Amino acid sequence: MDAELLIANLTNPTLLFFVLGIVATLVRSDLEIPPSTVKFISLYLLFAIGFKGGQELAHSPFEAEIIYSLGFGLLLSSLIPLYTFFILKRRLTVSDAGAVAAAYGSVSAVTFVAAVSFLDAQSLAFSGHMVAVMALMEAPAIIVGIILLMRYDIPGPDEPPRLSLGSVVHHSVTNGSVLMVVGSLVIGIIADSKQAEGIKPFTTDIFKGFLAIFLLEMGMVTARRFGTFSRYGRFVTLFAVLMPLFNGSMVAVASHLVTNSVGNRFIFAILAASASYIAVPAAMRLAAPKADPGLYIPMALGVTFPVNITLGMPLYLLLVQHS
């Protein structure tokens, strides 16, 4: 790996705030960001990404690459949970394996936001339609995870019947984070360009500041949840480290079949490598009540997220640039 690129990433101010959050929790500081503030910032970040992506898409010619990219995203979010499930099923219960597989097949909007900041630091651009790809990759992994649970996890006679696939998918699609990014994307497409300039300072100039505060909170949450799944042993920790690196690296290389854009290929890699800890847990609480949230949420947030934003992003960019 390019040492200069890795050092540049590790000294990125937004990432350093993530580290500060971890330190604050480890030293038992009383530093706290109000939940309402965290929710506002997360919605703001999704709004800014979606709106800017919509504006870029509105000014881009409609090309075959957009269709190929959407199809490639759907393929990734359907295939990853399949092989992930069968790897995990050897060591975990069917319910836990299905929930973790859905999480790793879906995407993390926060990791996507951090990836956008990383690309900006490298003076690299990506196409607006990649925001749509991100939004489209949320639901397929959840659907595949639920189908696998229905096929392999048979409820006992004393257990309540599992909710229908349709109701769970509807819940995941109408999840606040998904609705915000998709809605902002659509508004960005149809909004008048001159009037959109009026909110540019809000969507662009203060973006990194809000991201730094949000990652500070993510650091504190990560440190609190990291140790909660230690009872599952080394296997899940190794999986949470190696699986994103494998997925991201493979897609970084294979994405040249879809696009030649370095920025777009990098985004594909980070989407394949990321794991959902917002939309999927909300859906799995309904679809897989026997699955342990103390396993799949810390795996995604406590291990995979920091691996991706520290080691993963420089690695994926390096692979994209040399393949």
Alpha carbon of residue 32 to chain centroid: 24
Res 46: pLDDT: 80
Res 228: pLDDT: 62
List CB contacts of 311: < 8 A, sequence separation 6 or more: 1, 6, 245
Each residue's pLDDT tens digit in the chain (323 positions)?
Answer: 566 666 766 777 878 888 899 899 999 999 999 989 988 988 888 888 788 878 877 777 778 898 999 999 999 999 999 999 999 999 999 999 999 999 999 998 889 988 998 998 889 999 888 988 888 887 788 888 888 888 887 665 565 555 566 776 676 667 676 678 778 888 988 888 788 888 888 887 788 888 889 888 888 887 887 666 667 778 999 999 999 999 999 999 999 999 999 999 999 999 999 998 877 777 777 777 788 887 888 898 888 998 999 999 999 999 999 98
The length of the chain in residues reads 323
Sequence letter at residue 295? L
Give pTM, 2 decimals.
0.81
Res 135: pLDDT: 81
Whole-number Å distance between alpha carbons of 115 and 199: 23
Of 44, 40, 48, 13, which is closest to residue 204 (Cα–Cα)?
48
CATH number at residue 308: 1.20.1530
Domain count of the chain? 1
Whole-number Å distance between alpha carbons of 185 and 203: 13
Range of the domain at 64: 3-23+32-321
